[in-house]
Chains A and B, each alone.
Chain A
């Protein structure tokens, strides 16, 4: 079974530039999560999708971050404009449903460096 795919693996941009990350979840998984992990900290949930609808985006900085999950499969996370404090690893995860009991399967992450 293929795991969660993310691209790119690394990205370096300057502040105020835009950047986009892509995630392809495990086939058939209805729920998709985006997390932000700052160095030395645990992952912080940014947004949760159930199919192509948003379940929770309460911790997403909506003035600069946006995410979509067209057709309930792939998802993109965008930052515009980026700030220095956005430097982090962005993790995508998927699970079969939105139940917290379900195992989340994580991708390798995208490491973003904002200069």
Chain B
């Protein structure tokens, strides 16, 4: 079971770029890396997913080095509404088990 490690919390200011790194040393060959965002009193929401190198969508970028033992979620020019908990998720193909870690609580200040 691939375990993930993320910083517990991060602070940033509006307009800055935020990078959140997740460690997953035991990632398996077929695993994908997925990031979710969760606001208070809501269920998690998909942000981005990748397997290797770099993935970019309208919300974020995901950087994955060649060894895939870590990944970095990059949020460009954050706003107050980006204040949330961000979870890094590594998909286990065998057994189909998906494990959320503790998440990173991002606080964006004005």
- The interface of chain A, by Cβ under 8 A from chain B, is 4, 33, 35, 41-45, 48, 55-56, 58, 91, 93, 98-101, 103-109
Q: Is the interface of A mostly helix, strand, loop or mixed?
A: loop
A42-B87, A56-B95 given as contacts; is B100 within 8 A of A104 (CB)? no
- The interface of chain B, by Cβ under 8 A from chain A, is 31-32, 34, 36, 41-46, 49, 87, 91-93, 95-103
B97 neighbours in A (Cβ, 8 Å): 45, 48, 56, 58
A104 neighbours in B (Cβ, 8 Å): 36, 44, 46, 98
Q: Is the interface of B mostly helix, strand, loop or mixed?
A: loop
The A-B contact count (CB < 8 A) is 59
CA distance A99 to B92 in the complex (A): 9
CA distance A58 to B100 in the complex (A): 16
Whether B43 and A106, one on each chain, are in contact in the complex, defined by CB atoms closer than 8 angstroms, is yes
CA distance A44 to B102 in the complex (A): 10
A42-B103, A45-B97, A55-B96 given as contacts; is B49 within 8 A of A103 (CB)? yes
Whether A48 and B44, one on each chain, are in contact in the complex, defined by CB atoms closer than 8 angstroms, is no
